[in-house]
Chains A and B, each alone.
Chain A
Amino acid sequence: MTDQMVDAPPAAVPAELTPGHSRWHGLRPWLPLVALAVAAIVPYSTLVLPGIFEGPLNSPGTLQLLAVCLVFGGLAAGYDLLFGRTGMLSFGHALYFAAGVYGTDILVTRAGLPLWQAGLFAVVGATTLAALLGAVALRTVGIAFAMVTLAFAQVGAILVARNFGGWTGGEEGLPLDVSGLPPALVGVTNTVNLYWLALAYLALVVFVVHRVSGSPTGRVLAGLRDDERRIGVLGLDPYRFKLVAFTLSGGLASAGGVVYCLIVGGASPHVTSSELTLSLLVMVVLGGPGTRWGPVLGGVLYMYLDHRLTAFGASDAVDALPAVLSAPLSQPLFVLGTVFILAVYFFPGGLASLTTRLAPLRKALRPPR
């Protein structure tokens, strides 16, 4: 009894500082690259995972679903730069994503620009927009900031839905005109290229967020999250740093929008809705805010569940249940919303905290030395 108590390591030391087991410890820094390599060769596999995906892994349907999941993983990681790492609760992130989607779509379809120009303009435009709106919205803090960003994003939703000048296609959305696109990105057989594009986007976002959070700026951002007044006392301007994070995060979201527009082959008004921002928030919280892999995991898993729960809700197993149960279960948002509430209560650190939470259990299960 006493022996065990002495043995227990101090709880305050973070996992990455304690030396791990020798064999795995050396591999740890390379794990992201290994994961990237595995994800990159997935399209060469014809593995069939019944119940998880409908077709084999390299079928276009599965690859498209995976690509959407990866884009949202990247989006969630970019949103986490605001929410988890800087502590800003923005409810308007969908606006910059939608600016990327609709910007690319309109410039390609209506203006006939080549893809690279359209994508570039869309990202630059959306980043500028984020800087301008951020400059206004950041005059408020906390909850008021959340409301203001929500209101700004609502303007985007109205502009798209009301279809001013017939540019956005209104409620029906705007299918992407593929005639001017590079042939490698068009057609069902080329879904694999879009998958790689989405993977590249995810890798880019993770890399940027990782570099930023490791830089001196990133440490100021973490300081803003923990105690904004203290940063002010230290002589740094919180407003500027928050604006930098807001702009960067908006820019990353718009790049995701460009990729998403290609994967889905057009734009639909639901990308402008506040529900999209709310779901980003759900992804980050489910995954674990402020961690490197938590938001990515949360985003991928959320999108996967959002797609698959629809099929699950229509399956025989659910239909066989009494109507009181089967009706709510057929709504993916009901399931995800409930899981989210439970996660806020019982898993404040999200999926990323599972390893530390399970550590005592593993320790207990390990045979005594």
Chain B
Amino acid sequence: MGTVILLTLTGLGLAALYFLVASGLSLVFGLADVLNFAHGLFLGVGAYATWWAAQNLPGAGPDGLGFVLAVLFGVAAGTLVAVLVELVLIRPLYSRTIEQVLVTVGLSLAGVALLQATWGADARPFPRPEWTRQVTSVLGASVPNGGLLLIVAAVAVLGALLAFLRWTRYGLVIRAGVENREMVTALGIDVRKAFTLVFAIGGAAAALAGALGGVYFGTVSPGQGGSLLIFAFIVVVIGGMGSVVGSAYAAVVVGLLQQFVNYYGVSGLGDICVVGLLAVVLLLRPQGLAGKVAHA
């Protein structure tokens, strides 16, 4: 029983990480039709900025309020990079989907290489508060606190995103834009402002994932974002593009499946099962669990 609970909670921790990356990807894709390969870069920027701030920023540190400040700095850096990418690189290519993908591909290659050039290719130990190294006993299972922190953060982000989408004017514009962008534009609403906004939200969520993922794994390395990104893509496709709730469901399914199969089966089999699940979902329900029909 203890094992099952432990696996469930670590699986949910993984799911939380996927959700933080996938929610932004899904919104960006649903609204602006941009498959953002540079999303892994935002994650890397968030992780490295937090790591840097914990050591160099006055007032920030690896513990207590200082750590909160470091994470805030990381999230701010990720958001800033995301907004800059949208304004400088994506916006001029508006409605040219393939070119946008190509630019984000180039950006992911160059950006990760830049991180590597600046801080080296090797993983760096991540500064984390003392309590995240310890475990909490939940129904007889010792669960690492870092994973619990991820779950709490992801639930908070999910709640905040849903509240934002449901009860604010910009949330309304984004939801309407995902549904039918031409109609929103025809009504005289500048949908491009919403593009920048979803990029900012996605960048912030990804940077948070980078910072908390650093806490969870204990290290930070330039390639971390890339490997997470592929599973985030899978989560987005399974959940349905443009749907935050769909991403959340899909993240939970993917995280749990991966964790349980990797434990009870051969290590690595879980990752393959996830792709199998993707194939099944595509065959039975090409638009994903909760999404609009994925069109070109």
**A, B: real partners:** yes
- Does the CB pair A143–B35 fall under 8 Å? yes
| Chain A contacts for B107, CB-based, 8 A | 337, 341
| B169 located at the interface, meaning its Cβ lies under 8 Å from any Cβ of chain A in the complex | no
Name the CB-closest residue of A to B236. Answer: A147
| Chain B contacts for A275, CB-based, 8 A | 109, 226
- What are 12 A-B contacts with C-beta separation under 8 Å? A137-B282, A140-B286, A141-B294, A146-B35, A147-B233, A148-B279, A155-B275, A161-B268, A164-B266, A275-B109, A333-B110, A341-B107
| A28 located at the interface, meaning its Cβ lies under 8 Å from any Cβ of chain B in the complex | no
| B245 located at the interface, meaning its Cβ lies under 8 Å from any Cβ of chain A in the complex | no
Size of interface on B: residues with Cβ below 8 Å to A: 47
User: Would A328 and B117 be within 8 Å (CB), given that A144-B294, A275-B109 are in contact?
Assistant: yes
| Chain B contacts for A279, CB-based, 8 A | 109
Query: Which one of A148, A150, A344 lies within 8 Å of B99 (CB-CB)?
Result: A344
Measured between C-beta atoms, what is the minimum distance from B62 to chain A in Å? 26
B residues 176-206 in Cβ contact with A at 8 Å: none
B residues 256-283 in Cβ contact with A at 8 Å: 266-268, 271-272, 275, 278-279, 282-283
A340-B102 Cα distance, complex, nearest whole Å:
8
User: Would A340 and B106 be within 8 Å (CB), given that A143-B97, A158-B272, A164-B268 are in contact?
Assistant: yes
Which has the most chain B C-beta neighbours within 10 Å: A142, A144, A344?
A144
The 5 closest A-B pairs by CB, nearest first: A337-B110, A142-B296, A162-B268, A337-B109, A334-B113
| A151 located at the interface, meaning its Cβ lies under 8 Å from any Cβ of chain B in the complex | yes
- Does the CB pair B271–A341 fall under 8 Å? no
Measured between C-beta atoms, what is the minimum distance from A97 to chain B in Å? 18
| B114 located at the interface, meaning its Cβ lies under 8 Å from any Cβ of chain A in the complex | yes
| Chain B contacts for A151, CB-based, 8 A | 230, 233-234, 237, 275, 278
| Chain A contacts for B155, CB-based, 8 A | none
- Does the CB pair A333–B109 fall under 8 Å? yes
Known contacts A155-B275, A164-B266, then 8 further A-B pairs from the complex at CB < 8 Å, ordered by chain A residue: A143-B294, A144-B237, A154-B271, A155-B272, A328-B118, A333-B109, A333-B110, A340-B102
Query: Which one of A143, A147, A278 lies within 8 Å of B105 (CB-CB)?
Result: A278
A148-B274 Cα distance, complex, nearest whole Å:
12
| B163 located at the interface, meaning its Cβ lies under 8 Å from any Cβ of chain A in the complex | no
Query: Which one of B29, B102, B114 lies within 8 Å of A281 (CB-CB)?
Result: B102
- Does the CB pair A341–B99 fall under 8 Å? no
User: Would A140 and B35 be within 8 Å (CB), given that A158-B272, A340-B102 are in contact?
Assistant: no
- Does the CB pair B226–A334 fall under 8 Å? no
A89-B114 Cα distance, complex, nearest whole Å:
26
| A285 located at the interface, meaning its Cβ lies under 8 Å from any Cβ of chain B in the complex | yes
A140-B234 Cα distance, complex, nearest whole Å:
13
Measured between C-beta atoms, what is the minimum distance from A266 to chain B in Å? 22
| B86 located at the interface, meaning its Cβ lies under 8 Å from any Cβ of chain A in the complex | no
| Chain A contacts for B233, CB-based, 8 A | 147, 150-151
- Does the CB pair A341–B234 fall under 8 Å? no
A262-B111 Cα distance, complex, nearest whole Å:
33
A281-B99 Cα distance, complex, nearest whole Å:
12
A275-B110 Cα distance, complex, nearest whole Å:
12
Query: Which one of B108, B272, B296 lies within 8 Å of A143 (CB-CB)?
Result: B296
B→A interface (CB under 8 Å): 29, 33, 35, 37, 89, 92-93, 97-99, 101-103, 105-114, 116-118, 226, 230, 233-234, 236-237, 241, 266-268, 271-272, 275, 278-279, 282-283, 286, 294-296
- Does the CB pair B103–A341 fall under 8 Å? yes
| Chain A contacts for B108, CB-based, 8 A | 278, 337
- Does the CB pair A142–B97 fall under 8 Å? yes
A336-B97 Cα distance, complex, nearest whole Å:
21
- Does the CB pair A158–B268 fall under 8 Å? yes
Measured between C-beta atoms, what is the minimum distance from A275 to chain B in Å? 7
- Does the CB pair A142–B295 fall under 8 Å? yes
| Chain B contacts for A285, CB-based, 8 A | 102
Measured between C-beta atoms, what is the minimum distance from B48 to chain A in Å? 14
Query: Which one of B37, B105, B111, B267 lies within 8 Å of A162 (CB-CB)?
Result: B267
| Chain A contacts for B296, CB-based, 8 A | 141-143, 228
A281-B112 Cα distance, complex, nearest whole Å:
17
User: Would A148 and B268 be within 8 Å (CB), given that A143-B296, A281-B102, A327-B117 are in contact?
Assistant: no
| A136 located at the interface, meaning its Cβ lies under 8 Å from any Cβ of chain B in the complex | yes
A161-B278 Cα distance, complex, nearest whole Å:
21
A327-B294 Cα distance, complex, nearest whole Å:
41
- Does the CB pair B110–A141 fall under 8 Å? no
A282-B103 Cα distance, complex, nearest whole Å:
10
| Chain B contacts for A331, CB-based, 8 A | 113-114, 116-117
- Does the CB pair B33–A143 fall under 8 Å? yes
A309-B93 Cα distance, complex, nearest whole Å:
29
User: Would A158 and B271 be within 8 Å (CB), given that A140-B282, A150-B233 are in contact?
Assistant: yes
| Chain A contacts for B97, CB-based, 8 A | 142-143
| A274 located at the interface, meaning its Cβ lies under 8 Å from any Cβ of chain B in the complex | yes
A144-B29 Cα distance, complex, nearest whole Å:
10
- Does the CB pair B113–A333 fall under 8 Å? yes
Measured between C-beta atoms, what is the minimum distance from A345 to chain B in Å? 8
- Does the CB pair A136–B237 fall under 8 Å? no
- Does the CB pair B116–A136 fall under 8 Å? no
| Chain B contacts for A338, CB-based, 8 A | 106, 110
- Does the CB pair B113–A337 fall under 8 Å? yes
- Does the CB pair A141–B295 fall under 8 Å? yes
- Does the CB pair B226–A274 fall under 8 Å? yes
Which has the most chain A C-beta neighbours within 10 Å: B35, B89, B93, B112?
B35
Name the CB-closest residue of A to B120. Answer: A327
- Does the CB pair A330–B117 fall under 8 Å? yes
